[in-house]
């Protein structure tokens, strides 16, 4: 039997109603685009030459290490174990980098790209909610059978650069699905779905025969005989404990790829990664231009396309062990390295930006193991050392993380706290154990939570069954903030601070924010049940999952890092400052709506 987690309900599979190109047509189109591009090159070159303003660099490199923590980085530099980070600090500059409220990757990388606060780019968490039904949905993109919508607003700096004739290559920067059109190349990252439309639905089989599920409920039968996987007339050797290469799978509605891992001790287990969009024939747009993903597949071979491809949930659920998870992360990182350094080889001008998320995924799962984490940081130092070879006198190099990391020991269910304190009510006979807020009696509920960021009021005129008058909104928000600040779990501080959204954000999307952002204390985070809208039996609970590290705490506890080969002068740099800095490097004035300040 396949064991799979439930997909996020906001996503559905691409299905027959979603158009995609066949392999031959895709190849033909790619060739045609290449020919047209070749003939237009002299015109583009002359246009760019005329439009280019006087800048201070020829090229800018943004090397992102998601979740690289300043405390660990600084300690390992002091011990002499990160020589390339130390070299870059000595030659240029280093500082801790202020992150966003909340300190979540989709929020922070959206601010990196746009230079604005979440109230202006509309990303506040991994999840938002349908105001009519209260059902949580993915915050960054909306996918239907007929359309795909990027829900992150505002313009990324590379789109502005492109209008001024400066091209960019953007690799795996989060919240870039679906890709926007601009003067450059982009491969989408976080929140790119798998072929089933979920954010990562793995399969595990306990018998050597079964069916693998794909989009729209399609299935592919398989058998394993004598250590060989037989699927769709393919014979795939399954050496025990070793991942297969990417296996191409042909469903009726769309092609996909997956890797398999066989173990037989102590019991038979066949793990299959989430079936991912095939980059060589993408069923949904995962790159701009469309042919760029195909080009990368020809360059490096098939590669992971899922937004969060390192399968943390498979490790959480025991479908794979830690060694298999780390090997999977290594294989994915190897693909990203090949893309990144190829881009540096072929793009001597403009911007090259790449985010490596291995640091984030491995710290989530192994934060309590220095024997795993410290070699990981040393490996990032190796990548930086290779990158330094491209940072000549005409190149600006920035190495940054979106946030740091801390331990996750105890979860907090604020729905339970709200229930116990009279702000939330359950339907008659319900115990709160149903996901996605389904057990809540909205006629008697003033506040609720889901996701990782904070608390929402059940507001009249906003939520379909809202009961809190607008006139009472500010007072109720402050009442909750006052009661939650300093909330203790036995003898330990669980919540360091609580911030009304209006005190943090401004802009046209302020109304989409949680009304109260929770700054959890070190060691605490929103509990697993609270994240999916359940109401538990207890406010506090031990975190018993393999996922042991996190950053969903008060942002002051988890700043990121910022290194550069330039002598940066800012005293309190924030991640919002990178976008205007990128524009200034090429002699372009940041637009008035951009809130960050140039670090030059």
pLDDT for residue 167: 98
- CATH architecture of the domain 60-125+133-192+307-405+558-585 equals 3-Layer(aba) Sandwich (3.40)
Q: If pLDDT is split at 50, 70 and 90, which confidence band does 569 have?
A: confident
559: Cβ–Cβ under 8 A, 6 or more apart, which residues? 70, 96, 97, 98, 99, 403, 404
Residue in this structure with the two tokens 């607008």, named with its chain if needed: 470
Q: If pLDDT is split at 50, 70 and 90, which confidence band does 16 have?
A: very low
pLDDT for residue 470: 97
Evaluate if residue 38 carries a pLDDT over 90: no
Model confidence pLDDT, tens digit, residues 497-538? 999 999 999 999 999 999 999 999 999 999 999 999 999 999
Q: What is the C-alpha separation between 173 and 163, in angstroms, rounded?
A: 20
Q: What angle do CA 402, 67, 555 make, to 5 degrees?
A: 60
Q: What is the C-alpha separation between 391 and 92, in angstroms, rounded?
A: 12
pLDDT for residue 55: 82
Q: What is the C-alpha separation between 366 and 364, in angstroms, rounded?
A: 6
Q: If pLDDT is split at 50, 70 and 90, which confidence band does 8 have?
A: very low
Structure tokens at 9: 């309900």
Query: Which range (51-60, 234-243, 417-426, 550-559) has the least confidence?
Result: 51-60
Model confidence pLDDT, tens digit, residues 282-341? 999 999 999 999 999 999 999 999 999 999 999 999 999 999 999 999 999 999 999 999
Q: What percent of the chain has pLDDT over 90?
A: 89
Residue in this structure with the two tokens 């998870």, named with its chain if needed: 325
Nearest to 337 by CA among 41, 63, 40, 27: 63
Does residue 410 have a cis peptide bond before it, meaning omega lies within 30 degrees of 0?
Answer: no
Query: Which range (25-39, 92-106, 282-296, 579-593) has the least confidence?
Result: 25-39
Helices and strands: H and E segment counts in the chain: 16, 32
Q: Are 583 and 163 in contact (CB under 8 A)?
A: no
pLDDT for residue 52: 47
Q: If pLDDT is split at 50, 70 and 90, which confidence band does 15 have?
A: very low
Q: What is the C-alpha separation between 531 and 552, in angstroms, rounded?
A: 11
334: Cβ–Cβ under 8 A, 6 or more apart, which residues? none
Nearest to 361 by CA among 337, 399, 332: 332
Evaluate if residue 218 carries a pLDDT over 90: yes
Evaluate if residue 42 carries a pLDDT over 80: no
pLDDT for residue 2: 38
pLDDT for residue 12: 23
437: Cβ–Cβ under 8 A, 6 or more apart, which residues? 129, 134, 135, 136, 448, 450, 533
* pLDDT, mean of residues 459-473: 98
Structure tokens at 289: 């231009």
Q: Could you give the residue range(s) of every CATH 3.40.720.10 domain in the chain?
A: 60-125+133-192+307-405+558-585
Model confidence pLDDT, tens digit, residues 167-217? 999 999 999 999 999 999 999 999 999 999 999 999 999 999 999 999 999
pLDDT for residue 5: 36
């Amino acid at each position: 039997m396949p064991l799979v987690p439930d997909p996020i309900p906001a996503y559905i599979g691409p299905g027959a109603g979603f158009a995609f190109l066949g392999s031959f047509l895709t190849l033909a189109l790619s060739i045609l685009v290449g020919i047209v591009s070749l003939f237009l090159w002299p015109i583009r070159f002359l246009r760019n030459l005329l439009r280019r303003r006087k800048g201070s660099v020829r090229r800018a490199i943004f090397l992102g290490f998601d979740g690289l923590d300043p405390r660990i980085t600084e300690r390992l530099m002091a011990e002499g174990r990160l020589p390339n980070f130390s070299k870059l600090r000595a030659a240029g500059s280093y500082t801790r980098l202020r992150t966003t409220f909340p300190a979540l990757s989709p929020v922070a990388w959206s601010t990196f790209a746009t230079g604005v606060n979440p109230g202006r780019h509309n990303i506040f968490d991994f999840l938002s909610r349908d105001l009519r039904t209260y059902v949580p949905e993915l915050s960054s993109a909306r996918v239907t059978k007929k359309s795909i919508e990027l829900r992150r607003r505002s313009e990324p700096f590379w789109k502005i650069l492109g209008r001024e004739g400066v091209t960019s290559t953007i690799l795996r920067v989060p919240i870039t699905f679906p890709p926007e059109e601009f003067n450059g190349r982009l491969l989408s990252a976080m929140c790119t779905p798998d072929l089933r439309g979920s954010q990562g639905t793995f399969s595990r089989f306990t018998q050597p025969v079964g069916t693998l599920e794909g989009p729209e409920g399609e299935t592919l039968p398989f058998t394993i005989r004598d250590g060989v996987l037989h699927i769709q007339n393919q014979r795939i050797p399954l050496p025990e404990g070793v991942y297969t290469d990417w296996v191409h799978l042909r469903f009726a509605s769309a092609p996909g790829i997956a890797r398999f891992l066989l173990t037989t001790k102590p019991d038979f287990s066949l793990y299959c990664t989430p079936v991912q969009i095939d980059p060589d024939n993408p069923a949904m747009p995962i790159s701009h231009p469309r042919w760029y993903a195909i080009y990368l597949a020809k360059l490096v071979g098939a590669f992971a396309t899922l937004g969060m491809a390192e399968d943390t949930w498979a490790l959480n659920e025991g479908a794979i062990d830690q060694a298999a998870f780390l090997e999977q992360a290594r294989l994915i990182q190897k693909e990203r390295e090949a893309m990144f350094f190829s881009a540096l080889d072929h793009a001597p001008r403009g911007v090259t930006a790449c985010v490596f998320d291995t640091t984030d995924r491995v710290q989530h799962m192994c934060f309590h193991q220095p024997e795993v984490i410290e070699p990981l940081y040393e490996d990032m130092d190796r990548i930086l050392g290779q990158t330094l070879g491209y940072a000549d006198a005409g190149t600006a190099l920035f190495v940054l993380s979106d946030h740091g990391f801390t331990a996750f020991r105890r979860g907090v269910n604020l729905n339970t706290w709200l229930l116990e304190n009279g702000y939330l009510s359950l339907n008659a006979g319900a115990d709160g154990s149903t996901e996605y807020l389904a057990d809540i009696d909205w006629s008697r509920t003033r506040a609720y939570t889901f996701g990782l960021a904070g608390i929402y009021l059940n507001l009249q005129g906003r939520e379909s069954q809202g009961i809190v008058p607008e006139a009472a909104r500010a007072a109720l928000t402050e009442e909750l903030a006052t009661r939650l600040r300093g909330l203790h779990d036995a003898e330990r501080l669980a919540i360091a601070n609580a911030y009304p959204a209006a005190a943090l954000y401004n802009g046209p999307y302020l109304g989409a924010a949680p009304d109260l952002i929770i700054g959890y204390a070190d060691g605490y985070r929103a509990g697993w049940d609270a994240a999916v809208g359940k109401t538990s039996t207890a406010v506090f609970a031990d975190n018993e999952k393999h996922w042991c590290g996190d950053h969903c705490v008060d942002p002051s506890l988890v700043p990121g890092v910022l290194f550069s080969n330039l002598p940066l002068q800012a005293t309190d740099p924030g991640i919002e400052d990178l976008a205007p800095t990128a524009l200034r490097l090429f002699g372009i004035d940041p637009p008035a709506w951009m809130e960050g300040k140039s670090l030059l």
